[in-house]
A and B are shown apart, each in its own frame.
Chain A
């Protein structure tokens, strides 16, 4: 079975632009979470979605938003990009909230 897939794998943007990152969960998983990981640190929780509804939110500004589609795939959107948004963005899926999460290999976002 395919694992969690994320696209694109790498992305370069400039300050002020907008970006959309995509995630496909493991088949049968209905919960998707998004994380930001800066080099040398652990992942920071951004959002959790379950059955297309937001179920958890971390301490990120409103420039960050997400949604989950009927097929359980998800998008993370970031507006007005800042240099500090440069990071690895990870998506994780689980059967439902609170269950062990399985991660994709992330999207490496670089802001110039």
Chain B
């Protein structure tokens, strides 16, 4: 069964405490892996696209990496404004997108 699993479900960090979020997938015919950030009451905001194993993308304090079975979103020295739910999505065969349930990140000052 095609599915995307994110862990942990929730993560509490102190400001400046680096960590990683995990996205593992069992999706046939991976055509791309996408990371999004979602704030309460808003739609997801696009962060990164990764297309092949070994690929990395960076944006400010965020870095996304991809292997054949999983992706990591590394957060370096997070700030309170990084608090949000981070979603991972995989594009598989037949133009189907599969989203994980997200990791809710809370960064305390």
Interface flags for A16-43 (1: CB within 8 Å of B; 0: not) read 0000000000000000010100001111
- Assess the B97–A33 pair: CB atoms within 8 A: yes
Q: How far is the CB of B92 from chain A (nearest CB, A)?
A: 10
Within 8 A of A (CB), among B86-102: 87, 89, 91, 94-102
- Assess the A56–B43 pair: CB atoms within 8 A: no
Partner of A98, one of B43, B91, B98, B99: B91
A104 nearest in chain B by CB position: B43
Q: Number of A residues whose C-beta is below 8 Å from B?
A: 25
- Assess the B101–A101 pair: CB atoms within 8 A: no
Q: How far is the CB of A26 from chain B (nearest CB, A)?
A: 11
- Assess the A42–B42 pair: CB atoms within 8 A: no
- Assess the B41–A105 pair: CB atoms within 8 A: yes
Q: Is B25 an interface residue (CB 8 A)?
A: no
Partner of B31, one of A42, A98, A100: A98
CB neighbours of B4 from chain A (8 A): 42
Q: How far is the CB of A62 from chain B (nearest CB, A)?
A: 17
Interfacial residues, chain A to chain B (CB-CB below 8 A): 4, 33, 35, 40-45, 48, 55-58, 90, 92, 97-98, 100-106
